[in-house]
Structure 1
Amino acid sequence: MSKIEFIATAAFGLESIVALELKELGYNDTIVENGKVTFTANKDAIARCNLWLRSADRLLIKIGEFKATSFDELFEKNRKLPWSDWIPENAKFPVEGKSIQSQLFSVSDCQAIVKKSIVEKMKEKYKRKWFKENGPVYKVQVALLKDVVTLTIDTSGMGLHKRGYRKLSAEAPLKETLAAALVRISRWKPDRALIDPFCGSGTIPIEAAMIGRNIAPGINRTFAAESWNQIPLKIWKTAREEAKDSIDNSQPLGILGFDINKSVLDLARYHAQQVGLKNVLTFQHQSVNDLKSKYNYGYIISNPPYGERLSEKKDVEKTYAQMGKVFESLETWSYYILTAHEGFEKHFRRKANKKRKLYNGRIQCYYYQFYGPKPTVLKGPFAKKD
């Protein structure tokens, strides 16, 4: 078990960002596919990846993969996999499943067969007929895609977007993993100002600040694999110490969040406090019409309203037009806007330099990227306008 095959799952469109994060952690043998990045590493990766991956949904251990077109084939091939190397005698091992374009389309039947075959495998090792399942959780997933079966165990537990700081929530919040990816895609650096004029409960500014100060996104939460006896506590202790030592509290940041909803800004301040960024981030009650900045160069990264309801569409389109006018005064800035509204560029009155298809939950969006001019040499962080 010196080398383990892992799968870091990701929302559609974020796979390359997850692969980049893995490379930054030192894992280079990545295979990028739709919705996932596969790589091999040792046990240390279970702790390090769970703590550090900002844009991935989960970290899974890949137990095996094979083709199956009958339930008998699924049972027999699954029983040959090394389940007993991972699942201990007292483990809880619920089985979840999904099936896409496969002959074995009944997910519930696939789950039951995989569960039964794992039990048979465990009977061989532990020499008993019944298992209490009162110990640590090893959540198994059986995923079928075009008759190819992939079997995994989830090391994360709660999704990796659950950082631990957002204990209160606003309506339709942006997932932390997507917010972090928006910042990474923009290539923002901490020596540039950053404004989110529709910050809501503060997710984009908070994720940007965590990137800017190199705060591991999972540093304040626990993971399923922390209770596994295969992963020595020393591995988790070392990884957490590494994460703590990597924080750069000396890095100055110029990150601001604005919103017209006062109550949601209280949430933003509360969330920033949970991460230890209360005195680092600025949240203000302000309309996008009043947006301006004293800084020469900067980034606007935002997830404005989409106007999904017909009654809201005209108001949203008016907001996009206002954004276009206001942003003209920030001519040296770059803008990165995520929206599901297909007519955004028309109302914003500017063609994006680039757009990228992403999903906010199940909503198909585009991330519109407008590049400002390359900055001249700054005299220090956040050089102000002359």
Structure 2
Amino acid sequence: MKENQYQLIATAAFGLEAIVAKEVRDLGYENVEVENGKVMFQADAAGIARANLWLRSADRVKWQVGQFRATSFDELFEQTKALPWGEILPRNAEFPVIGKSVKSQLFSVSDCQAIVKKAIVEKMKMKFGMPWFPEDGPLYRIEVSLLKDIATLSIDTSGDGLHKRGYRQLHNEAPLKETMAAALIQLTNWRPDRPFHDPFCGSGTIPIEAALIGQNIAPGFNRNFISQTWRNFPKEIWDQALEEAEDLARYDQPLEIMGTDIDRDTIELANHNAQEAGFADLIKFKQVAVADLRTDLTYGYLVGNPPYGERLKDVETARMIYRQLAATYERSFPTWSLYIFTADEEFEEIFGKPATKKRKLYNGRIRCDYYQYYGPRPPRDQDGGNNNEARI
């Protein structure tokens, strides 16, 4: 690894790793490795700021301090102690240790956490010559993760999960995470010059994420990150990353984005959240049932997360909505592409038409499918690209 380079881990929901890897590469970072639930890459200190600001579909960004094989507590202690904690943590750092263990001989997570904590304290005693540490300063949340006897020690650089953009203070009972909403959009090839409509908008997450993408606004621009409090990363690094994000934003990009829902209260939530995100005059929210949807626009994108049995506690009600969606799509949106995210494995049968393509994803612990129905290609004079799925 080059000097002043950090080994970073962008964690991701299962099924979204390839999307996160593409986002990392789009930021200019190479040597990207993908494993289940995470994407590893190398970056300088500025990369920590840029990754936190720009990754739309990742859960959080971690700094990997060390990785080694450990099959005994002695090995875990000695190899943890050998890492440069005194160069990383200030003497007043608050450094709780969390952990997990999968298919490893060291299966007691609480014991592993205690061993790692003790090893770090011993290393810091050597560095600072102090018998104890007050832990009343900046927070460094350390994780020891054991997988098949390989221990990975990392520090969370994000703080709150990256799905917390700062705009959604209010939400409905079953909100879709902002990171998943962004991923659903990125799995289409929607462009800002095309209409975009969420027919099940709920609290507005998918339309708001579409607006952020359409105007190339960094999703983390209006929030703070725990690593901003660390001495390791001077304020100038964050200032430069924020300035870059401001320069790259396209606030004057016109967008045709709409969200509709049958429930009046959720439309009020959506309008509130759009206002918090700065899109009050840009996104149109309206109370409309799926069966009543109409449009004069063409070659747009319908992207939605409809209610399903897990959420409604009533599978048949959900399936009635799917039938209404099928009739509406055929009648009023013949040139549009349709993307539906649901846990109902019989969606295609109820909808009455097989998807062009479907992709398995997880909404929390719920297995879902993303059903993709490609619309016809726009005339050549209306389209600068193709109408196939984004290749991720």
TM range (shorter): over 0.9
Partners of 2:159 and 2:143 in 1: CA distance: 12
Question: 1:32-111, aligned counterparts within 5 Å?
Answer: 32-111=34-113
Cα-to-partner distance string for 1:230-275 (whole Å, 9 max, x where unaligned)? 1011111111111112221211111100001111111111111111
The corresponding residue for 2:349 is 346
8 A contact 2:174–2:311 mirrored in 1:
no
Q: How many residues align?
A: 381
Q: 2:363 aligns with which of 360, 363, 385?
A: 360
Cα-to-partner distance string for 1:71-119 (whole Å, 9 max, x where unaligned)? 1111111111122221111100111111111121111111111111111
TM-score of the pair, normalised by structure 1: 0.96
Partners of 2:381 and 2:308 in 1: CA distance: 36
RMSD value, Cα: 1.4
Q: Cα distance 1:351–1:379, how it changes in 2: closer, same or farther (>3 A)?
A: closer
Cα-to-partner distance string for 1:14-49 (whole Å, 9 max, x where unaligned)? 111111111111112200111000000100011111
| Partner SS for 1:186 | coil
Deviation at 1:377, TM superposition (A): 3.4
Cα-to-partner distance string for 1:280-319 (whole Å, 9 max, x where unaligned)? 0000000000112111111011000111278501111111
Partners of 1:311 and 1:295 in 2: CA distance: 35
Deviation at 1:379, TM superposition (A): 5.5
Deviation at 1:366, TM superposition (A): 0.7
Cα-to-partner distance string for 1:325-370 (whole Å, 9 max, x where unaligned)? 1111212111111000110000011111111111111111111111
Aligned residue type for 1:150: T
8 A contact 2:9–2:62 mirrored in 1:
yes
Q: 1:225 aligns with which of 207, 220, 227?
A: 227
| Farther off after superposition, 326-335 or 273-282 | 326-335
Q: 1:375 aligns with which of 374, 378, 385?
A: 378
Structure 1 unaligned segments of length 5 or more: list them. Answer: 382-386
| Partner SS for 2:51 | helix
| Partner SS for 1:130 | coil
Identical aligned residues as a percent:
57
The corresponding residue for 1:189 is 191
Partners of 2:86 and 2:39 in 1: CA distance: 25
Aligned residue type for 1:215: I
| Partner SS for 2:86 | helix
Q: 2:161 aligns with which of 130, 154, 159?
A: 159
| Farther off after superposition, 304-313 or 33-42 | 304-313
Partners of 2:313 and 2:53 in 1: CA distance: 42
- Large movers: runs of 4+ above 4 Å: 378-381
The corresponding residue for 1:237 is 239
| Farther off after superposition, 213-222 or 78-87 | 78-87
Deviation at 1:60, TM superposition (A): 0.5
TM-score of the pair, normalised by structure 2: 0.95
Question: 1:166-185, aligned counterparts within 5 Å?
Answer: 166-185=168-187
| Partner SS for 1:243 | helix
Q: Cα distance 1:310–1:181, how it changes in 2: closer, same or farther (>3 A)?
A: closer
Partners of 1:367 and 1:72 in 2: CA distance: 47
Partners of 2:32 and 2:133 in 1: CA distance: 37
Question: 1:220-369, aligned counterparts within 5 Å?
Answer: 220-308=222-310, 311-329=313-331, 330-369=333-372
Structure 2 unaligned segments of length 5 or more: list them. Answer: 385-392
Partners of 1:311 and 1:181 in 2: CA distance: 26
Aligned residue type for 1:61: W
Aligned residue type for 1:352: A
